[in-house]
Amino acid sequence: MRFSTIILLSLSFNIAMACTSQEAQAIKTVEKKGTYPVAEYTKKNKLDNYATAVFAGGCFWCTEAAFERIKGVVDVISGYSGGDESYPEYGQVGAGETGHAEAIYIYYDSSIIDYETLLEVFFVAHDPTTLNYQGPDYGEEYRSAIFYKTREEKALIDKVIKRTNEGPLYPNPIVTQVQPYKEFWVAEAYHQNYYELHPDQGYVVRVSRPKVLKVKKQFPYLIKKKYK
């Protein structure tokens, strides 16, 4: 009788410990979901039927704002791409722990604007000739990168890089990384639409706004009416 009681108590303890461990893991997963896979965002916002592009060009506040102003662009979200860690967080990315770059995920209507034109905007929206930094921001997370999903996209990227290198836009060669797309993690909520929500913030005024204005000046015919 005593032996059976001991066994039952032991089993109860082990089950309780297993449940506690699983609960802790579940809590940990929920806590990390300040970021989440882009597929969840796509499904939630019914964006499945739009074409997409994934670019990294320094601080995502800047590039998100620049592309939001382009005709045919339906939505732009800030996030992380190019690394290996699941559910990367802003602090981890900034510390260089995950290999991700600050990036943007663009949903666009391909009947209004094409991928090649988006590439042209991308090479104006940031400086693609500086390795692992943009303006005051230094680190691999600020690298210039394009994450392609198809061979057709890769061919267009090569074409536009060649054309831009041969043109007058930059005196130095482009150092943009061209990589196959793996995953995109939507950044924490406070990063989304940062430019619009904090127009007087110091970084936005000094760094982001000049980049947005540069795009508007270079491509006046592509700017949505409400942003002119």
CA of 175: how far to CAs of 16, 127, 145, 146, in Å? 55, 9, 9, 11
Whether 67 and 61 have beta carbons less than 8 Å apart is answered as: no
> Is the pLDDT confidence value at 220 over 50?
yes
pLDDT in tens, 49-96: 999 999 999 999 999 999 999 999 999 999 999 999 999 999 999 999
State the burial class of residue 107 (Cβ atoms within 10 Å of its Cβ: 0-12, 13-18, 19+): buried
Q: How many CB atoms lie within 10 A of CB 112?
A: 13
The CATH topology of domain 33-227 is Peptide Methionine Sulfoxide Reductase; Chain A (3.30.1060)
> Is the pLDDT confidence value at 24 over 60?
no
Stated pTM of the model: 0.86
Which amino acids are annotated catalytic? 59
pLDDT in tens, 97-148: 999 999 999 999 999 999 999 999 999 999 999 999 999 999 999 999 999 9
Domain limits, the chain: 33-227
pLDDT in tens, 148-203: 999 999 999 999 999 999 999 999 999 999 999 999 999 999 999 999 999 999 99
> Is the pLDDT confidence value at 20 over 90?
no
CA angle, 215 as apex, 72 and 70 as ends, to 5°?
10
